[in-house]
Amino acid sequence: LHSRFRLCPLPSRTLRSHPPARCFQVSAAKKAKEAGDKTNQALSAEQQERIRKNKEAARQLLAERNVPPGFGDSWRRQLAGEFSKPYFVELMAFVAEERKRYTVYPPPEQVFTWTQMCDIWDVKVVILGQDPYHGPKQAHGLCFSVQKPVPPPPRLLRAPSSPALGRAGMDSPLSDPLGVLCLPGVLLLNAVLTVRAHQATSHKERGWEQFTDAVVSWLNKNLHGLVFMLWGAYAQRKGSSIDR
């Protein structure tokens, strides 16, 4: 049979190859941006402004929740933006933990006494110190100051007087540095606002410096005729950015 019939090979079929489908790869970020652009186009200017105000109110509410106890109202309104920043949140957690383990001065309700003495807009003189006194019943939230009947520490008695008080509109230059602390409009601000008992500078470089730098910066930018009294090398370094 094989010899009589010869098998003819079938013609091979030519298979058409279809071009590969085009792949469109769009990143998730691009999709989100396009969706956001379309949403913004659909919103009116009034709606976008309302959204912006709501976001700002939410940020303000978050900051208000982080306001420490005893913080003066006028100061809170101007400095509230600091309270929600990571460094300040970490700072408050650090101080709270320190109080659980050690004696810390001043007491929590007196850390911000300096914000209660006058309105932020009424400050005329700023006296900068380093950190609170670390002995019992000394520190109460004002630099270079102690409450009666606690005797003043030696470094307070050595504090110089300054004719700058007269330039700031105070009644008369004082030869007694203790008298400066009784004048209205005098801000007594330490660079570091808490300290462990009997351990000077124990809360240094924990975040207080950044916060008090923000205070000094606000005062320097917003108040006119302000006098800064920088007692000591540390205060002079901290006040190096003051433009007056």
Helix, strand and coil content of the chain, in percent to the nearest 5, comes to: 45, 10, 50
Alpha-carbon distance of 165 to 172, in angstroms, equals 7
Using DSSP bridges, classify how beta strands 104-105 and 195-196 pair: parallel, antiparallel or unpaired: antiparallel
- 131 classed as catalytic: yes
DSSP letter string, 29-70: HHHHHHHHHHHHHHS-HHHHHHHHHHHHHHHHHHHHHTPPTT
**Catalytic residue from among 37, 119, 122, 131:** 131
Residues 112 and 127: their CA atoms lie apart, in Å, by 15
Residue 112 and residue 141: Cα distance in Å, rounded?
A: 6
**77: exposed, middle or buried (Cβ count in 10 Å: 0-12, 13-18, 19+):** exposed
- Rounded Cα distance between 123 and 224, Å, is 10
- CA angle, residues 133, 136, 140, in degrees to nearest 5: 55
Give catalytic residues, as residue numbers.
131
